[in-house]
């Protein structure tokens, strides 16, 4: 019997948080929307959304983070990456950058 091993180099964590996204890709109209994160690692993220997103598209994600800065300021995790897979309502992203922001951008959600 063969043992199946996980080829991922980074451990993934089940994290279910609200996410807002914006996707751009040459030749396609920009897309925006919202969903829920499913799994995160230091190099990738998967999330659920209502429509498939273009593979190869550049995506910016804004995730409402449960921790607070200085015990009171809301925080969000801002991620950029490339869509590597999108089907069945689930999208996988390879991360290119990530940072925390303590002044959540309301205009980001207004366009989503």
In this prediction the pTM is 0.79
Decide: helix, strand or coil at residue 110: helix
What DSSP state is assigned to residue 50?
S
User: Is residue 49 pLDDT above 50, yes or no?
Assistant: yes
User: Is residue 3 pLDDT above 80, yes or no?
Assistant: no
Q: How much is the pLDDT for 4? A: 52
Q: How much is the pLDDT for 36? A: 97
* pLDDT, the chain, mean: 85
Contact (CB, 8 A) for 91 and 51: no
Summarize pLDDT for 70-107 with one digit per residue, the tens.
767 788 999 999 999 999 899 999 999 999 988 665 54
Report the range of poorest mean pLDDT among 13-17, 51-55, 66-70: 66-70
Which structural domains are found in the chain, ordered by start?
Answer: 13-111 (2.40.10.220)
Measured distance CA(63)–CA(86) in Å, rounded: 19
Q: How much is the pLDDT for 34? A: 96
Give percent of the chain with pLDDT exceeding 90: 61
Question: For 7-29, what is the mean pLDDT?
Answer: 86
């Amino acid at each position: 019997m063969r043992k199946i091993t996980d080829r991922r180099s980074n451990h993934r964590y089940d994290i279910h948080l609200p996410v807002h996204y914006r996707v751009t890709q040459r030749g396609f109209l920009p897309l925006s929307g919202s969903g829920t994160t499913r799994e995160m690692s230091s190099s990738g993220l998967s999330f659920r959304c209502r429509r498939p997103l273009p593979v190869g598209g550049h995506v910016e994600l804004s995730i409402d983070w449960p921790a607070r800065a200085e015990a009171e300021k809301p925080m969000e995790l801002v991620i950029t990456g490339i869509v590597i897979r999108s089907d069945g309502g689930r999208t996988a992203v390879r991360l290119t950058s990530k940072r925390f922001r303590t002044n959540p951008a309301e205009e980001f959600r207004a366009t989503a």
